[in-house]
Chain A
């Protein structure tokens, strides 16, 4: 086996919505374990639709997706455990009445015993720095804290891949910085990271794989430094550093 095995393999993936519009059109993509991938594209380009196929929230009309070699649709529970997903709107994904309960929601769904649930919750809360707020009601958290809570809720399921869908929307500058630090730390800890965003600038310096989508198709796929030139043609703002021919950094 090679150094970095492919954790996600997408072959000829196509998805048509029930109203007949084409969501994804013949997508082929492989993502290596431990990679930091940015999926860029303007709103409506198919980023969210693609991500929702990774853990079987949407099922393909054509093609297959394999997670560590096994098709997603073969075992949905396994797929959802491997691919943790942080959604755009924090408020509608926090289900617990307290911070602790929310993080415990996932492990409880996995039917772990109480002791394990407790350990996973406290590990996850420590990882995002919210352990002191364990008894707080989620409603009273700040935007950045809510976003970190949603990450903790996913971490408690011990996924290999972390998927962030437009993670920077609605966050103030300190919130963005803290979230970036969090994402980088998770990458360093060995997670495969996928970030869907229309704002490449914030994360591109840390990424090792850039995918650009437009109208449900993958139009660029490769190393960020090589792929970032001319992305404005696809409705994505080119990072400032790349324009005068400088090296891209954060």
Chain B
């Protein structure tokens, strides 16, 4: 029995509710915070996308100025990748992985909260640029010399560097946390090869994050020193080298896209399997293929640099390595198809997204193989062909997968089922709009349209397809609007979801109430095989067998320190740009919080077995 058996002080009213959310270290709440923040940035990124497409609806349009256009494409890419896609991935990982492994929380709950708040304040810092009029405009890839102070003297690129640096800290913390959690906190009986696929992909994604994000950190530090402290890493006249940035950035950038897609692969495995009533076909191969994709993902970065002038040997090697990744990816696609084969397929909205993912991602993947061929890439590179490719994989792949996961796990997170009809409307508008938007872009590129162009000349054969692309974007906006309407309508309904609302849940999260109670599992379960919950259900059991007796449950205490640390970093960001005194103050605040956390021990609190349990009774 621990010495500190204190209960958590909860305050009433709106301020109490706010305090609860600002101080939470509960992975389920942090998951919701990530979802809301990610959703917010997704809307911003989406509006930026619509403005881009409205500008490109016809040749020589002047919907926005050329400067603004460059700001829009930079912010759209940066916001969508770092502040929308990744946080929503973390939302699902946070909400679901501890439940799937039979744990009560992640390994480091305080750090988990810190990860969220640093991401959030980094994202806020970046987007505040819009309000100052000094917006990053050198592309999300931020190539020097364009990104250096010599050619980008306003603070725009500083917002990029500092916002991403701060946000990146959050991501790195998340990666470390999930690796520790998955390695150390699996329930008894859950060997690695009995973990659900979503947990496996979360694990490998976390490893990718831990290995790849430091490269970005290094690059951003170098760029920051060039811009703010007069260093010369990327100043050619002083002996610097711009290709250095390209290598460092893509060393991060390529694993980043696997960080983006692997969790989606995990979602697809779960959703397809559940709604086919069949176990995943070739589970061990799926695990191996995921590991291989991650490993190979570090070997291919220079395929983003085929036209940079690295030479034929480098180009040839990176071409071959890039093509190799198609093999494990293809294996996964066939395994999904054969999971459905012989199954009993139910077309819920969640499953529609998962099924729609397959042909869409395959199309994105095959254009990836086309791009892998360096000599052909000399034509495709920096044209709309590439824009088509990466939107097929990221939007048609990742975002579709996230929509599948969100619709699938919504009851587990919120205790309510999203409306199926609206979900299907979302799917059709979004999918059809998506293909209209991006399929034509492959042709635009081949017909001679470079990327990142604020406009294009008439009479080049580009007019119609650009218009089609814009119309598609508007359809996608309609689809996403249906999704938000769905969320609002659903939130007004009472919490009626059962433990296993899809009835065919296979994994541990479906063994507990929806939403999950504060402590997740009354007793840590005993896992007797792969798809542990399905196995118990098939043997007629209504509950997971326990792996421990009933007893007081040790929970981590909430803390306001992560929020304050985020604020400190936020202030320091402005300080680095405008007044170094504030940079020092901001960092001092953060360090002070770290000191407080280190000096004052908090052993958490306990929930007693006979306490009325928060969330246990369906409201």
| A, B assembled together | no
